[in-house]
Structure 1
Amino acid sequence: MQVFARGACRFGATAAGTLGAVALAGTTAFWFAGAAEAQTFRFTSFDVQGNQRIDDATVISTLGVTPGQPIGAGPLNDGFQRLQASGLFESVEIVPSGERLVVVVREFPTISRIAIEGNARIKDDQLLELVRSTPRRVYDPAQAEADAAAIAAAYGQAGRLAATVSPKIIRRSDNRVDLVFEVAEGRVTEVERVGIVGNRAFSDRRLRRVLETTQAGIFRAVIGSDTLVPERLEFDRQLLRDFYLSRGYVDVEVLSVTPELAPTRDAFFLTFRIREGQQFRFGQVGAATNLGGVDAAEFGAEVPVQRGDVYSPQAVERTIERLERLATRKGLNFVRVVPRVTRNEAARTLDVAFVIERGPRVFVERIDIEGNATTLDRVIRRQFRIAEGDPFDPREIRAAAERIRALGYFADASVEARDGSAADQVIVDVDVEEQPTGSLGFGLSFSVDAGASLALTFAETNFLGRGQSLNLAVNVGSTAGNSQLTFVEPAFLGRDLALSTSLYYSETDPDDENFALEQLGFRPGLEFPVGEYARLGVFYNIDRATLISDDPGSDVNGDGVISPGEGLANVSAILAREANEERITSSVGYRYVYNTIGDGLDPTRGYRLTLEQEVAGLGGDEKFVKSAVTAQGEQLVLNEEVTLRGTLSFGALVQLEDTVSTRSNRYFGTGNLIRGFRSGGIGPRDTFAPSDPLGGNRFVQARAEALFPIGILPEEYGISGAAFVDAASVWGLDDTDGGAVSGDGVGIVDDGFFLNSSVGVSILWDTAIGPLRFDFTEAIRKRDFDREQNFDLTIQTRF
């Protein structure tokens, strides 16, 4: 490519290959270096050819040749390299010819359009967002290669590590090109196996449930968490570490995470290496201080952990929050609580002294919020428990950051403190990245008892950027249907006070019963915290209930009007008296919940206590007091492989002013009360019309259940088992005057206490389309007219 003839030299290169250009440059430089001793050049004229957008002066200036000045072969070669590296030309060629220098260039073409071909799994618009090359601008081969690498990386994130992307150009007229990225997607590279090495206290199966990454199962075509995402691995490391720390393993280390690609490049084998260390428990725990006027014993009484409890950083953090809140209530500003930990290796305990000491006098100058285009500032600002001018509390800033992320409004949120305008001032910067908060859902569900139903839901959790939620749910089934519209303001009056309003409609019409129940109601309420784990809600409810009979009745007394219940045949007199009559219930009530399941200091156990009470009689037709209490407990045993759950409930409906309870307000033996029986399958009945459950004014329930893995099945299938024992009773009526309305016979109403019981096993299958549950139940104790249901299949899915 270099020719010397008749005292002239000619050399050039294109941008097609970097290695070729380097080799050419090296050869050219070597030749001119040898020729420089024998010859120099002096150019008095220049002829620039092939340039369209770049003027001649720019080309000559970049080349660095001065008219009339002598120049050697080496500097001329340097000028050639500068032109080649300028990024302006696809190819460059210089031809010295006596005192005239000819420069032939070929400019990079202009991109006419950009297209992506061969992609099916990722849409064009998603991939085009990654491309930095731009139509109507000069084509840059280096940028095109970078764009191809970005597209390939996107496929790698989706688990298709074998995907290849090739940038191609299609030349058009007027020095224009179409830039086309040809994609070969390849197969998904899945995590075929997740192995854990070094664990002794917990099994591989239990630890795999902690990880975000899962093994490929039978639904590998639709489950995304079984693909290898490098960024997810670091998160998995932290999840494993947090799991062990919360269970007292303070020395745990996740030594490495090693992904090994199968030779076929279609699967990964992922191995976590951990060092557990020993489990530690709390030793001596108390509070101490050297501040005058502060009673350490008073603070020590607020410490929730006890000697012998499993050590947990979460328990330490919550204790610090408690003590600092107590200090604030007592007017102690600029006080911080520092845990001093003393380690006892022999006893494997950690003594913790919570020291109350004076902190630095630093104030919050201001809180700056950026990135929120839709969400109002006040929605973010109310997540802080401090305001401008308050003492600065680093722990509260971290807690506020967690609360902001927990809102679910933002794809990313960072909260950082920086120096303010003075030494004792701090500015808190909040930077958020918003994400969509609305959803439209379509669901299907099926159970043997209720049949199939179709669900349509709309939810907006950040309505108009105000942090409010709006939910609409419509369910239509073969035997029941309901609709509900709910609006919630989570910070009513700027406080931690949730205001909710709900409008609902429901209709149940079992195929084998003579009555359908229709209800329309409105329910506003307020809910607020009353403790670390407790919340209290108060509400007002008004609804209209109508018990509709399949038989419209007949005018028995001949007055030209069919009164409620008049002329109904072959039904219980108790229900006939209520039939086709609208009844209004106006009531107030409260609901108290104390819950430590999943949120307490001990992650392996917790309990939930619920107390509900409703009083009707503020207008309307009903006058009663309805009360219920439920206690639930949960415990993980056998190295957390098995979950034990227990529930005990009791409820009572007491009528006021000699009124009689109605079917819409009584308790029924639903599937949530006892398994092995149909909905309404237990409780008082009129023997004349046993198909129509009457319901009762009292109920009691006891349930025990154990959930466990099924060892013979691969865990990636998502199948587990359960065994349960249920017992329940529904009893007690105000009106027991049963019998046939038509006079064909007289029924006997049995409303006495009878404890029904059942045992059973379940198969739980966590599928890609939703959870499936198969219940196989056998009734142990029942009455002749109780209606059994030995098998139940429940499917719930949402798209």
Structure 2
Amino acid sequence: MRLGLEGGAAKRHSRVSIATGLLRAFVFFAAIAATYTIGTTQAQAQSYRFDSVVIEGNARIGQSAILSQAGIGRGQTLTAGQLNDAYQRLLSSGLFESVEINPQGSTLRITVVELPTINRISFEGNRRIKDDALTALVSSSERRVFNPSLAEKDAAAIAEAYSNDGRLAARVTPRVIKRRDNRVDLVFEIFEGDVVEIERLSFVGNRVFSDRRLRRVLGTKQAGIFRSLIKADTFVADRIEFDKQMLRDFYLSRGYVDFRINSVNAELTRERDGYFLVFNVQEGQQFKFGQITTVSEMPGVDADAYQAVTKIRPGVVYSPALVEQEISRMEALAIRNTVDFMRVEPRITRNDRDLTLDVEFVISRGPRVFVERIDIEGNTTTLDRVLRRQFPVAEGDPFNPREIRESAERIRALDFFESAEVNAREGSSPEQVIVDVDVVEKPTGSLSFGGTFSSANGFGLAVSFVERNFVGRGQSLSLEFSTAEEAEAYGLTFREPALLGRDLAFGLKLQYGSTNSSFTSYDTEQYIIEPSLGFPVSENGRLQVRYTAESIEMEERTPPENGAIITNEIAAGAQMRSSVGYTYTYDTRLSGLDPTAGVLLQFGQDFAGLGGDSEFIRTTAKIVGQKRILNDEVTLTATLEGGALSWLGGTNRAVDRFILGPSILRGFEPGGIGPRDQSGGFDNALGGNLYLAARFEAEFPLGLPEEYGIRGAVFYDVGNLWDLSDVDLSGGNVVGEDGSFRHVIGVSILWDTPVGPLRFNFTDAIKKESFDREQSFDLTLSTTF
């Protein structure tokens, strides 16, 4: 029994020993863990206190500036994390190449290596873009700290400028040349590369309009003989989006409401020196307007009154622009009727069976929102009032989103700005709106040197200075002079488009001219002063009134080349005219219901006799109709014009009467038709008091590649010049006084060259008089460069 008890005690003693060992091991490991945790906590909570800060390596930047940038003060207690934040702030300041922060007891040592300053910025390898233009692109500047990251961004900006010029292979590398005193020269090494042209611009899916017609819509052009001079054939990716919008607008304005662009593919040629650009389009069907109705959901507003101002009729080709015009007319009527907050919403019903779109204009009351103010920014030269007068609304007026959009378009149409953004945002309350206008100005002045040539006046030099935004007032000022072999002209023209802040254009013309033409038998010298006022009288009509003071003298040549009639008129000397007049112009070529057709009507009269040596009434009229047919490939133009001079007093001279030139009747020299004086063995053109002319022309493609810019035309002109009433014919031998209609047919070659429009006219007068002077070939070219 005792032995058994002893064995049980041994077992119990063994179990106690094991438990004691486990307890001791647990205590040991717990102690180690606690020691580690306490050490880590102490490391994380470790703090520094510096009695002094030592800064080394700084030459340009003061110690106080470095401490301020780091956010460290003497005697301040800092953690390790705060020291790291100070390090990051110093490094990201863009002032130092490297930074070290070392705590040494109670002293903090900051060692910096300053970035160098830029001594000079230069460009190497650039020929296509000048240094001045490249300097405007870079943000790095001389006498500033050199920043490697900024230099890389500048290199990318220069490369993008070359890419926009079609030089996609351009490479720009910034190089640094070290100078003394920690200065460097920054050099941008440029490899320009070759221009990547658009070798072929084509379309897929177009059935109505040919590739040639659609190419004329786009700003991007296919490579051609002269395209490289105007850089229109270079591939610019950003231009493609603009081209896509232009293409959409073209189709939508012609009723193709389902038109869409499926894709635009730009593929490099095998030689990587050109692009094949393909627009994949889907035209859809052409829709026309169906029923046009107006309903009113606004109490007190009669829909019939607003329906009466609509001009769209069923059968007209659908265009979103025409719908916008109708809404503008209705809202303008609401303003005249003092109806505020009226909104017009077009509801369109599609009729696929007959391909029409019914438009219901719904008049409703819009939200009561007012314009709190108009804020204008970015105009450093242009005065605020030039921009404000583009808005029909002012502070406190009811807010109309459509008027704001139209005002934005008017601001862009001024062509004073690189960009113009107009946005509306909520003002001081939900019922108030602030209109923000942000513009970026661009140069508006130009100095042009050019050349002119015409078969009438020969070669000449033309110089002009034009400022379209004179002293930021929106006024235009031009100084011009041109000297051809047989004609000289010098002039100043000034125009104020908004006199007294209204749509009232004031103009002033001062001009001097002299002629020594081989088509006349005398020389002339002329001075003109002409102030004028112009203002709208209807949606498409405008009226100009003017006063003209003019002195003109006919001068004899040596030896004399004149018969008795012209000699008598020369003897009258310089004659002074003082007249008032007006011209009414009606033009629907840009704003009519049909985008492929338009009409221009002009009618004017001048009444002389307010002083001066002459008394007369001069009347002129012209009407021009234009229509594009065969899917816009052929342009038909018909022009009818005429004039009548009723002489009331003074000497009626050749320079007062009408003398027709090729611009009115082709196929003849200036003064080549009409009454003539053949006395004394001479043959002098006398002009006439009455003229009438009609011109009919068809312009069409010749089948040549569109990029050549060459088109053809055929024309038929008919005209007559007659009547010498109130003319002193004593001693003369006059033929052609009664007049007769001349008939001319001809063909033209029209060449749109980079140096200007060139036109060759080949004519044949199929009906004429024996004393007429024909001109079977005429060439006209004018340009500025």
> Deviations for 1:111-151, whole angstroms, at most 9, x for unmatched residues?
33222111111122222233333444544433322222221
Pairing of 1:382-421 with structure 2 (within 5 A): 382-421=389-428
1:484 to 483, 488, 491: 491
State the 1:214 CA deviation.
0.9
Equivalent in the alignment of 1:338:
345
Q: Matched residues in 1 for 2:90 and 2:433: separation?
A: 52
The 1:49/1:385 distance shift into structure 2, 3 A limit, reads closer
Q: Matched residues in 2 for 1:759 and 1:215: separation?
A: 34
Equivalent in the alignment of 1:202:
209
Equivalent in the alignment of 1:548:
555
2:617 to 610, 615, 625: 625
State the 1:754 CA deviation.
0.7
Equivalent in the alignment of 1:714:
705
1:679 to 670, 674, 686: 670
State the 1:471 CA deviation.
1.6
Contact 1:661/1:734 (CA < 8 Å) preserved in 2?
A: no
Equivalent in the alignment of 2:743:
757
> Deviations for 1:451-490, whole angstroms, at most 9, x for unmatched residues?
1122111111111211111122212111122222111111
Pairing of 1:220-619 with structure 2 (within 5 A): 220-511=227-518, 513-551=520-558, 571-581=562-572, 582-619=574-611
Equivalent in the alignment of 2:22:
none
AA in 1 matched with 2:383: L
The 1:118/1:295 distance shift into structure 2, 3 A limit, reads same
AA in 2 matched with 1:287: T
> Deviations for 1:738-795, whole angstroms, at most 9, x for unmatched residues?
47x6xxxx62433112111111111111111111111111111111110011111111
State the 1:339 CA deviation.
0.8
AA in 2 matched with 1:167: P
SS of 1:183 mapped into structure 2: strand
SS of 1:575 mapped into structure 2: helix
AA in 2 matched with 1:699: Y
AA in 2 matched with 1:619: G
What stretches of structure 1 move > 6 A for 4+ residues in a row? 46-59, 76-89, 91-95, 101-106
Contact 2:178/2:184 (CA < 8 Å) preserved in 1?
A: yes
Q: Matched residues in 1 for 2:244 and 2:682: separation?
A: 60
Q: Matched residues in 2 for 1:291 and 1:104: separation?
A: 77
Q: Matched residues in 1 for 2:101 and 2:217: separation?
A: 66
State the 1:110 CA deviation.
4.0
Q: Identity across aligned pairs (percent)?
A: 54
> Deviations for 1:562-609, whole angstroms, at most 9, x for unmatched residues?
xxxxxx7x6332222211422121111110111111332311001111
Contact 1:574/1:735 (CA < 8 Å) preserved in 2?
A: no
User: Which runs of no fewer than 5 residues in structure 2 stay unpaired?
Assistant: 1-42, 44-52, 73-82, 103-107
> Deviations for 1:704-756, whole angstroms, at most 9, x for unmatched residues?
01111110x211111111111111110000256647x6xxxx62433112111
State the 1:395 CA deviation.
0.6
> Deviations for 1:208-257, whole angstroms, at most 9, x for unmatched residues?
10111111211244212221222211111110000011001112112222
1:785 to 768, 771, 776: 771
Pair 1:639-2:616 in alignment: no
Equivalent in the alignment of 1:727:
718
State the 1:196 CA deviation.
1.4
Contact 2:651/2:727 (CA < 8 Å) preserved in 1?
A: no
> Deviations for 1:593-637, whole angstroms, at most 9, x for unmatched residues?
111113323110011111111111222221221112111100000
Contact 1:661/1:733 (CA < 8 Å) preserved in 2?
A: no
SS of 2:590 mapped into structure 1: coil
Equivalent in the alignment of 1:14:
none
Q: Matched residues in 2 for 1:690 and 1:54: separation?
A: 91
> Deviations for 1:667-696, whole angstroms, at most 9, x for unmatched residues?
112111111100000000113355321000
Q: Matched residues in 2 for 1:78 and 1:291: separation?
A: 65
State the 1:335 CA deviation.
0.9
Pairing of 1:646-657 with structure 2 (within 5 A): 646-656=638-648
Of stretches 168-177 and 387-396 in structure 1, the one that deviates more from structure 2 is 168-177
Q: Matched residues in 1 for 2:563 and 2:177: separation?
A: 84
- TM-score between both structures, scaled by the size of structure 2: 0.86
The 1:174/1:345 distance shift into structure 2, 3 A limit, reads same
Q: Matched residues in 1 for 2:505 and 2:113: separation?
A: 69
Contact 1:690/1:785 (CA < 8 Å) preserved in 2?
A: no
The 1:541/1:103 distance shift into structure 2, 3 A limit, reads closer
Aligned residue pair count: 732
AA in 2 matched with 1:756: R
State the 1:81 CA deviation.
11
Q: Matched residues in 2 for 1:54 and 1:484: separation?
A: 60
AA in 2 matched with 1:317: E
State the 1:192 CA deviation.
1.8
State the 1:91 CA deviation.
7.4
Q: Matched residues in 1 for 2:564 and 2:447: separation?
A: 45
Contact 1:314/1:601 (CA < 8 Å) preserved in 2?
A: no
Equivalent in the alignment of 2:15:
none
AA in 2 matched with 1:730: L
Q: Matched residues in 2 for 1:120 and 1:105: separation?
A: 41
Contact 1:164/1:185 (CA < 8 Å) preserved in 2?
A: yes
Contact 2:652/2:727 (CA < 8 Å) preserved in 1?
A: no
AA in 2 matched with 1:681: G
Of stretches 101-110 and 419-428 in structure 1, the one that deviates more from structure 2 is 101-110
SS of 1:629 mapped into structure 2: strand
Equivalent in the alignment of 1:794:
780
The 1:398/1:105 distance shift into structure 2, 3 A limit, reads closer
SS of 2:207 mapped into structure 1: coil
Q: Matched residues in 1 for 2:494 and 2:767: separation?
A: 44
> Deviations for 1:401-429, whole angstroms, at most 9, x for unmatched residues?
11111111111111111112222111111
Of stretches 504-513 and 161-170 in structure 1, the one that deviates more from structure 2 is 504-513
Pairing of 1:48-67 with structure 2 (within 5 A): none
The 1:496/1:134 distance shift into structure 2, 3 A limit, reads closer
Q: Matched residues in 2 for 1:118 and 1:327: separation?
A: 63
- TM-score between both structures, scaled by the size of structure 1: 0.85
1:217 to 220, 224, 227: 224
Q: Matched residues in 2 for 1:54 and 1:293: separation?
A: 75
SS of 2:743 mapped into structure 1: strand
Q: Matched residues in 2 for 1:465 and 1:572: separation?
A: 55
Q: Matched residues in 1 for 2:333 and 2:148: separation?
A: 65
